[in-house]
Amino acid sequence: MDPSPPAPGPDTRIDLADGLTLRAYEGEADRTEYLRVVGESVEHLRPWMPWAAEHDPERLAAFLTDRAELWARGEAYSYAIVLDGAMVGSCGLHRHDDTPDGAIEIGYWLHPSVTGRGLATRAARALVEQAFRLPGVTTVEIVHDVAHHASAAVPARLGFNGDLRRPHEPTAPAETGEDRIWRLERG
């Protein structure tokens, strides 16, 4: 009997131009580099990322342990952002309890030494392409606090519509309590 074909999903490795690669996390093998990059980025990320505000190396390492399982279940597709062979951030496609049917959300962060170079935009563009290859995905969202202007630049450059707002309970120090929801529809 022939084995069943693998479930449709995004590519585990996406090679982009100029030394930029998105690759699925490799669990424990990525632990040391991931903790280093987060540790060097925590002050940059703390205002906007709840997990950075509560910087806990053990909890961060635990993030890596379930990535393969979440990927296999189609719940989250997490990538290391690698530039010229070195990890410089993270991005991914995620479904949350409040994500509408047919939608998937993109998240991203970068080490402060590589911000302002278009890497997050290039990574998000690649993730949009992957998202629309997934069965049932008709909408890609990027959600951030309205005060996080650097995050807003990415979906604006990619042609997302950012007209939606919703209240949220602030969980990171700089959050205002209002999310901006950017959407891009298939086609």
Task: Report the CATH number that the domain containing residue 59 is assigned in CATH.
Answer: 3.40.630.30
Radius of gyration of the chain (CA): 16
* Total domains present in the chain: 1
Count of Cβ atoms closer than 10 Å to residue 44 Cβ: 16
pTM for the structure as a whole: 0.93
Burial of 84 (0-12, 13-18, 19+ CB in 10 A): exposed
The verdict on residue 5 lying in a domain is no
Mean pLDDT of the chain: 92
Amino acid at 25: Y
Residue 2: pLDDT over 60: no
pLDDT tens by residue, 91-126: 999 998 877 889 999 999 999 999 999 999 999 999
The Cα 156–Cα 69 span in angstroms is: 32
Does the residue 96 lie in any domain?
yes
Q: Specify the range with the lowest mean pLDDT, choosing from 53-57, 114-118, 124-128, 136-140.
A: 53-57
What is the phi/psi pair of residue 87, to 5°?
Answer: -65, 130
For residue 1, being part of any structural domain is answered with no
What is the domain range of residue 21? 14-185
Q: What is the mean pLDDT of residues 180-186?
A: 97
- Residue 4 resides in a domain: no
Q: Is 136 within the bounds of a domain?
A: yes
Any domain includes 50: yes
159 occurs within a structural domain: yes
pLDDT surpassing 90 at residue 25: yes
Amino acid residing at 110? L
What pLDDT does residue 178 have? 97
Q: What's the distance, CA 50 to chain centroid?
A: 14
| Phi, psi of 141, rounded to the nearest 5 degrees | -120, 150
How many beta carbons lie within 10 A of that of residue 161, not counting itself?
12
Q: Could you tell me if residue 7 is inside a domain?
A: no
